[in-house]
Amino acid sequence: MTLSPAKKNLLTAGLLVVLLAGGATYAWQRLHHSGPGEGFASGNGRIEATEVDVATKLGGRVDAILVNEGDFVSAGQPLAQMQILSLQAQREEAQARQQQSLSAVASAEAQVAVRESDYQAALAQSAQRESELDAARRRL
C-alpha cells in the first residue's frame, strides 16, 4: 500500500503536531510549580480553627466592620467600629451635670461666705450693743 504525497504530508504534519503537543505538555509539567509555593504546606485533611468570641465593654450598634471573614488578624487590631452618637450624648449630658454640680457647689460656698459675714456682723453688733450698755450704765 503506497501513500500519496498529499497523505504523506498530512500524516507528517499530524505526527509533528502530536510530538509538539507532547513536548509542550512534558515541559509544562516539569517547569510548572505545583502547590501554593514556599512556606505553605499542602495535603488532604480538615483544618479546625479556634473560635474566639468577641465582646465589648459597652453595648451598642456596629457602625463599620473593618475585616472580612477569613482575614488574618493580630492581637489589638480593631475589628469593628461602634456607633458612638448615643455614647457621646451621654458623655455630654454627664459633663453638663458636672458643670451644674460645680455651679451648685460654688453657689453653696458663696452662701456660706455670706452667712459667715452675717455672723461676724452680728458678733460686731453684739459687741457694740454691749459697749453701749456699758456706757449707759456708767452714765446712769
Q: pLDDT digits over 15-56, tens only?
A: 899 999 999 998 888 877 766 667 776 677 776 777 777 777
**Residue 128 domain flag:** yes
**Residue 11 domain flag:** no
Instruction: Cell numbers for 26, please give them.
Output: 512534558
DSSP 8-state symbol, 64 = E
**Residue 68 domain flag:** no
**Residue 20 domain flag:** no
Q: Are 97 and 104 in contact (CB under 8 A)?
A: no
Q: Which domain holds residue 130?
A: 79-139
**Residue 95 domain flag:** yes
Q: pLDDT digits over 69-120, tens only?
A: 888 888 888 888 888 888 889 999 999 999 999 999 999 999 999 999 999 9
Q: What total number of domains does the chain contain? A: 1
**Residue 24 domain flag:** no
